[in-house]
Amino acid sequence: MANYKNLIEKMINSYIISKGICDADIIGAIRSIPRHIFVEESFSELSYSDAPLPIGHKQTISGIYTAALMTSVLELNKNHKVLEIGTGSGYQTAILSNLASEVYTIERIRELSLKSRTILDGLNCKNITFIIGDGSIGFKEYAPYDRIIITACSPEIPKPLLDQLKDGGVMVMPLELDRKQNIYVIRKNSGKIEKKIIAPANFVKLIGKSGFAG
């Protein structure tokens, strides 16, 4: 993919800036990450469109607008410790790694975790800890987290994740309620939980103890 830098610029203009996401740090992060290396070679060009694409094991890489939108509501800074559930291809992880201090990313499918790790090591992302397991119960060892992002859809907000979110923290995730899937921003303030819909969504299922049954 010799000309991928042009494709990234086009993608940023068509699917990010024109849809209202203008944060310079997020755009800078997206500009610095080659997206095609996270998908199979036959999908290289398509990885710069706005479609979710297969990454094997019946899972998908999120569309770029969705990834950018979920990142933007987290309002990340270089002091943040972030927990990500659903490493998948590792593309979203790369964005988080660029904008936060530490990233802990959990994936239940071993092969996907190992593959994403190889790619992210190749990009020299050093602040990521890869965990293989059920992320619906979070990862207590490194809690609490300033930010939590779940990139798989759940029927309810996993209670262990709410417990592992810092007070004043923000979480973003797709929830399926009344058979409709939407992305929610969830805030925890003085122990009180507020949730707000920001966009419709189409994610694969969060499979685990506090998600859908496998």
Q: Would you please indicate which residues are annotated as catalytic (active-site) residues? A: 62
| SS3 label, residue 212 | strand
| Least distance (Å) between residue 70 CB and ligand SAH | 9
Which position among 11, 37, 60, 96 is part of the footprint of ligand SAH (CB under 6 A)? 60
Nearby residues of 84 by Cβ (< 8 Å), 6 or more positions away:
92, 93, 96, 103, 104, 105, 106, 148, 149, 150, 151
How many Cβ atoms sit within 10 Å of the Cβ of residue 211? 22
Least distance (Å) from ligand SAH to the CB of residue 88? 2
Q: Which two tokens stand for residue 139?
A: 């990862």
Name which position in 16, 71, 97, 135 contacts ligand SAH (CB under 6 A): 135
Asked if residue 108 binds ligand SAH (CB under 6 A), the reply is yes
At closest approach, how far in Å is the CB of 190 from ligand SAH? Answer: 29
61-80: which residues touch ligand SAH (CB under 6 A)?
A: 61-62
Told to check if 86 binds ligand SAH by CB under 6 A, we report yes
What long-range pairs does 158-166 form, CB within 8 A, spacing at least 24?
158/206, 158/208, 158/210, 158/211, 159/210, 160/136, 160/210, 161/83, 161/85, 161/136, 161/210, 162/186, 162/188, 162/193, 163/138, 164/83, 164/138, 164/139, 164/140
- Which of 8, 12, 109, 128: binder of ligand SAH (CB under 6 A)? 109
180-209 footprint of ligand SAH as x/- string (CB under 6 A):
------------------------x-xxx-
Helix (H) or strand (E) holding 95: helix 91-99
Single-letter code of the amino acid located at 177: L
85 lies in the site for ligand SAH, by CB under 6 A: yes
- For residue 152, state whether it binds ligand SAH (rule: CB under 6 A): yes
Q: How far is the CB of 62 from ligand SAH (least distance, A)?
A: 4
Q: Which residues bind ligand SAH (CB under 6 A)?
A: 55, 59-62, 85-86, 88-89, 91-92, 106-109, 112, 134-136, 151-152, 204, 206-208, 211
